[in-house]
């Protein structure tokens, strides 16, 4: 009766004794044999008591049938309030529901799936900023201020555009995009690409050179062109992916012709072969005088 301890009021005696009435109501809502033993009762208010019965239904372990009974003031007739199946403290329940927008992961979309973009998506911003406002008598001046937020839903892929709308302005300028990536959206995309194919990956650390000097790098337009490109090497691990300029792999276009590191020159001193020394001085080298050399024939022995 742990639930009863949360109530400070004392249960009404007549309502607390109406266990049989509560069981009949639970069996009528469920089925005979599904309602188990009476496990607890809780005082919900003045002359209002809830009886809890164990649920024997398969798949509802720990759940309880809750039957609330009551009576009028100074009346002895007990009436039924409601019957409901509720989870107990150790009930087996489904995990907490998470909105689809938070459950969605890269790669979850398949053919035919649609992913609507919210009007206040931080990754996007209007393609027409409004800084160069049209003249007051222009056809787009008044409607433009009134329909900036109202048109976000229809600007995703409008079948037809209305005169004076942001979509009409974008189509007139040849962009055909009512919204573009915001600075936040650009940074978020750059962080994802840098994590997958950036200079800090193991592949880039072992590469002979970076993608900025590779012939397979296809440049992209926009501000991200200063840091990213597209790999066009069919044998590379990032073929068809956006790669950072400091990324690299073994499929670099100049990997086979890159200069090899210089090899050190052989040692000058050869300590393996013996050094020859003459027994007698050589005249041509001038190591000794001729007089000394001539007297060297007579060693003074008799």
User: Average pLDDT, whole number, for the chain?
Assistant: 77
State how far the alpha carbon of 42 is from the alpha carbons of 53, 162, 256, in Å.
12, 63, 81
CA 96 vs. chain centroid, Å, equals: 20
State how far the alpha carbon of 84 is from the alpha carbons of 22, 50, 61, 68, 90, in Å.
11, 10, 15, 9, 17
pLDDT at residue number 90:
84
Comparing 236 with 281, which gets the higher pLDDT? 236
For tokens 């509802």, what's the residue? Answer: 60
pLDDT at residue number 151:
47
Give 10's pLDDT tier (boundaries 50, 70, 90). confident
Give the tokens for residue 9. 């009021």
Tell me how long the chain is: 302
Give me the half-sphere count of Cα atoms (radius 13 Å) on the Cβ side of residue 239.
7
pLDDT at residue number 162:
54
pLDDT at residue number 171:
57
Give the tokens for residue 67. 């039957």
Give the tokens for residue 54. 């164990």
Comparing 139 with 280, which gets the higher pLDDT? 280
Please write down the HEC assignment for all residues of the chain: CCCHHHCCCCCCHHHHCCHHHHHHHHHHHCCCCCEEEEEEEEEEECCEEEEEEEECCCCCCCEEEEEEEECCCCCCCCEEEEEEEEECCCCCCCCCCCCHHHHCCCCCCCCCCCCCCCCCCCCEEECCCCCCCCCCCCCCHHHHHHCCCCCCCCCCCCCCCCCCCHHHHHHHCCCCCCEEECHHHHHHHHHHHHHHCCCCCHHHHCCCCCHHHCCCEEECCCHHHHCEEEECCCCCCCCCCEEECCCCCCCCCCCCCCCCCCCCCCCCCCCCCCCCCCCCCCCCCCCCCHHHHHCCCCCCCC
Average pLDDT over residues 205-212: 90
Q: Which residues pair with 242 in a beta bridge?
A: 230
Q: What is the pLDDT of residues 12-41, one digit of tens each?
A: 889 999 999 999 999 888 877 889 999 999
Q: What is the pLDDT of residues 136-166, one digit of tens each?
A: 555 444 554 455 445 444 444 444 445 555 5
């Amino acid at each position: 009766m742990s639930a009863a301890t949360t109530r400070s009021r004392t249960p009404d005696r007549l309502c607390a004794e109406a266990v049989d009435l509560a069981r009949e109501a639970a069996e009528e809502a469920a089925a005979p044999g599904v309602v188990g033993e009476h496990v607890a009762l809780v005082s919900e208010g003045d002359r209002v008591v809830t009886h809890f019965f164990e649920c024997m239904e398969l798949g509802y372990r720990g759940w309880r049938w809750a039957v609330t009974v009551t009576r009028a003031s100074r009346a002895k007739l007990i009436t039924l309030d409601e019957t409901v199946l509720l989870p107990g403290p150790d009930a087996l329940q489904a995990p907490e529901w998470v909105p689809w927008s938070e459950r969605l992961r890269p790669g979850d979309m398949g053919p035919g799936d649609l992913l609507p973009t919210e009007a206040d998506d931080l990754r996007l911003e209007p393609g027409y900023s409004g800084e160069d406002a049209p003249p007051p008598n222009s056809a787009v001046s008044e409607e433009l201020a009134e329909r900036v937020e109202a048109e976000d839903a229809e600007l995703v892929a409008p079948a037809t555009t209305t005169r004076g709308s942001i979509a009409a302005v974008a189509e007139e300028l040849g962009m055909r995009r009512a919204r573009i990536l915001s600075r936040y959206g650009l940074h978020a995309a750059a962080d994802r690409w840098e994590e997958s194919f950036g200079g800090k990956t193991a592949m880039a650390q072992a590469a002979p050179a970076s993608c900025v000097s590779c012939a397979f790098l296809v440049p992209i337009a926009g501000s991200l062109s200063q840091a990213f490109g597209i790999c066009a090497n069919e044998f590379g691990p990032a073929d068809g992916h956006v790669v950072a300029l400091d990324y690299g792999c073994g499929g670099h276009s100049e990997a086979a012709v890159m200069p090899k590191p210089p090899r050190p020159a052989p040692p000058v001193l050869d300590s393996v072969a013996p050094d020859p020394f003459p027994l007698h001085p050589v005249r041509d080298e001038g190591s000794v005088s001729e007089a000394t050399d001539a007297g060297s024939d007579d060693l003074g022995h008799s």
